[in-house]
Structure 1
């Protein structure tokens, strides 16, 4: 599972003037551009670079940086004006980079793409500032519900029918717990109860599916004390109080929260879509969209966006590579072939994905999901010391009368 990492303040970065990039050293000569990505997207980035290099005169030299070190490396390189030609970033933090002038304005280039309308909308939204566009979708990771078909059958549930509502999700999880949880090895569901990013990734889609929101559009006011979020918390708290979630959920900090499902120990739980291809071959898994308490469907659209650095001297060569990564060839024959979520909604039901209806479903959710925008997202929602985790833990395990006050603290953090 790629966990969302804590953001760093970018206020100290030098504001760089966007430039169009220099000419290639010699007309017609091959150009090698540099690219950075974080380790969380290494596999997808390496596949794309390898395929591109095999078929193009221009080449890409990829550097993979440990995820926890990635933002400090970007900050240092930006301050020294030594950014690579192309770099990817967790989509949540793209607004910080665009506001500091780190990406080249590629609006006109994007406008010329015949499939512009099909580019993942959430990623495109966060890569837009003042009506100008700076990034393309690079990799996508969606939150969905997985259910274990064998455990469903043993619990008397229909193994081919996953939950359609969050209330039904709770019923299914409870049934698995009641029928199979006696030995302490099997549990109805699981979640990261001490992980701010886990709550964001898995609980917020139920609010969106119900037609609610968790912040205002500007990302400066929290709505996590409103009815939609309160009902989602109440359903999950009921599962915890009844022992359906497993004994370690309360202290789960994130690194291992997806591992229990892969062991065949969990009936139904929210999971990252990228883990589907990593599951044991003999584990029979159903996939369903995350729903609200009474229906609807949504997803948290995570992953990375990619852009051209504002200091590049090879803007044309960099764009040749970036535009190729979202082409039909790259999306279908590189990404879809490896069961990755596609960066284009118009290619959701391609020949490779069509072989697995679960992948088609996951791809279809890209157009229905959301990626929340907030300039201070990391400090507020992902920081273990931030106000969001305190709010979530009171709502789940503590005194719910404190939620309103803590929600005000979330808003204060967003506005700093």
Structure 2
């Protein structure tokens, strides 16, 4: 994928005579319609933003939603043909690759003029910055947090209003639910995606960060996943699995259905995407807590999408008008917060809609504390089911822990290719 993006970007650069500032702005009379692409994973939020913008602006946005699995190949093909849309979103993890290949327009000066520039989600902004130049804005955010089922806690003799404050407490509470309620096989203490590389990084890594540890070096080229900060987290989950607290299918769970178990009411406590809170059954009493390290702290994996103006656009001004609006007070409060989405700005965490639900305020407050790891080869190394990270994680939780140093070296090798 990296080679295809590199080749695509080179084609784009050769086709442009002014690559540094994007395609030449075409003079227009009257309103402009710009094109935007997004992946299906963020379709709902993108559609809401586009609909609201189109209803209040003379310029218009035509949105195309592409299946998530097909999104990266479509971007690469469009870049190679010099036919990128005016605006496109990307999983924030892949933004460093796109920016390094020149697919986004430099919008540093435009961002600097925003009065709330310092309140934009820091992790998203960091991954969209290369050599001090900025190329993207936060588009949608999805944070990893712990959900607990208050009804199951009460039945298990736990305090339903007190969730875990450490990973060790998480394990203790999950075990209590399993021991008290798990006899008939319909209730389990916890659950996780044990055969899903992306699930592991989204839910396990925050415990490492909360403990003050790291999973990679700052350049994203050296893996630190065989260090004590990570191995202690693995050990806690391994113990839960061996005690049959995690449910019988955790080892095989590949990702597509891992968030579907908690809403059914049979899981005591588990890491979940924050965006699923608004999709939970209305009658389910759910507590939300930050993910903690073994002995405390708190952090989160800040996922979601960033969005930028493509380097081939002919309508940079109209494209920027839309992007700037998406992070405005109006869009963030009346579109995103109104629908219980995580906000792209830290200064609006306690807005009038979020304030109605303390759990939403908590989730929004974590944006400033969470992290999004940087690595040009993140997808190939950590998301790919055939990649080295999943092999390491599965050995650490289900297999031979003596292999971790060797497998960690393979992760580093992948990151450096």
Taking structure 2 as the reference length, the TM-score comes to 0.97
- Equivalent position of 1:219 in the other structure: 220
- Equivalent position of 2:306 in the other structure: 305
Q: Which runs of 5+ in 2 are unaligned?
A: 14-18
1:8: Cα distance to partner? 8.1
Question: Distance in 2 between the 1:267 and 1:402 partners?
Answer: 32
1:21: Cα distance to partner? 4.3
Matches within 5 A, 1:193-272: 193-272=194-273
Question: Distance in 2 between the 1:395 and 1:292 partners?
Answer: 17
Shift in CA distance, 251/146, structure 1 to aligned 2, threshold 3 Å: same
- Equivalent position of 2:389 in the other structure: 388
1:13: Cα distance to partner? 1.5
- Equivalent position of 2:9 in the other structure: 14
Question: Distance in 1 between the 2:230 and 2:399 partners?
Answer: 16
Question: Distance in 2 between the 1:22 and 1:59 partners?
Answer: 20
Question: Distance in 1 between the 2:280 and 2:4 partners?
Answer: 36
Does the residue aligned with 2:90 lie in a helix, a strand or coil? strand
Does the residue aligned with 1:250 lie in a helix, a strand or coil? coil
Q: What CA deviation, in whole Å up to 9, does each residue of 1:247-267 have, x standing for no partner?
A: 110111001111110100100
1:12: Cα distance to partner? 2.4
Does the residue aligned with 1:144 lie in a helix, a strand or coil? strand
Question: Distance in 2 between the 1:265 and 1:134 partners?
Answer: 43
1:222: Cα distance to partner? 0.3
In the alignment, structure 1 residue 118 sits paired with structure 2 residue 119: yes
> Conserved in 1, the CA contact under 8 Å of 2:22 and 2:310?
no
1:298: Cα distance to partner? 0.2
1:9: Cα distance to partner? 4.9
In the alignment, structure 1 residue 55 sits paired with structure 2 residue 47: no
Does the residue aligned with 1:10 lie in a helix, a strand or coil? helix
> Conserved in 2, the CA contact under 8 Å of 1:91 and 1:126?
yes
> Conserved in 1, the CA contact under 8 Å of 2:144 and 2:274?
yes
- Equivalent position of 1:26 in the other structure: 28
> Conserved in 1, the CA contact under 8 Å of 2:8 and 2:81?
no
Question: Distance in 1 between the 2:222 and 2:320 partners?
Answer: 36
Matches within 5 A, 1:28-107: 29-107=30-108
> Conserved in 1, the CA contact under 8 Å of 2:145 and 2:288?
yes
Question: Distance in 1 between the 2:255 and 2:66 partners?
Answer: 21
Question: Distance in 2 between the 1:106 and 1:209 partners?
Answer: 33
Q: What CA deviation, in whole Å up to 9, does each residue of 1:96-130 have, x standing for no partner?
A: 11111110000000000000000000000000011
Q: Which runs of 5+ in 1 are unaligned?
A: 1-5
Shift in CA distance, 9/168, structure 1 to aligned 2, threshold 3 Å: farther
Matches within 5 A, 1:286-301: 286-301=287-302
- Equivalent position of 2:16 in the other structure: none
- Equivalent position of 1:168 in the other structure: 169
1:7: Cα distance to partner? 8.0
In the alignment, structure 1 residue 136 sits paired with structure 2 residue 137: yes
Question: Distance in 2 between the 1:390 and 1:21 partners?
Answer: 44
Does the residue aligned with 2:55 lie in a helix, a strand or coil? helix
Does the residue aligned with 2:282 lie in a helix, a strand or coil? coil
In the alignment, structure 1 residue 346 sits paired with structure 2 residue 315: no
1:384: Cα distance to partner? 0.8
- Equivalent position of 2:318 in the other structure: 317
Taking structure 1 as the reference length, the TM-score comes to 0.97
- Greater than 6 Å deviation, 4+ residue runs: none
- Equivalent position of 1:3 in the other structure: none
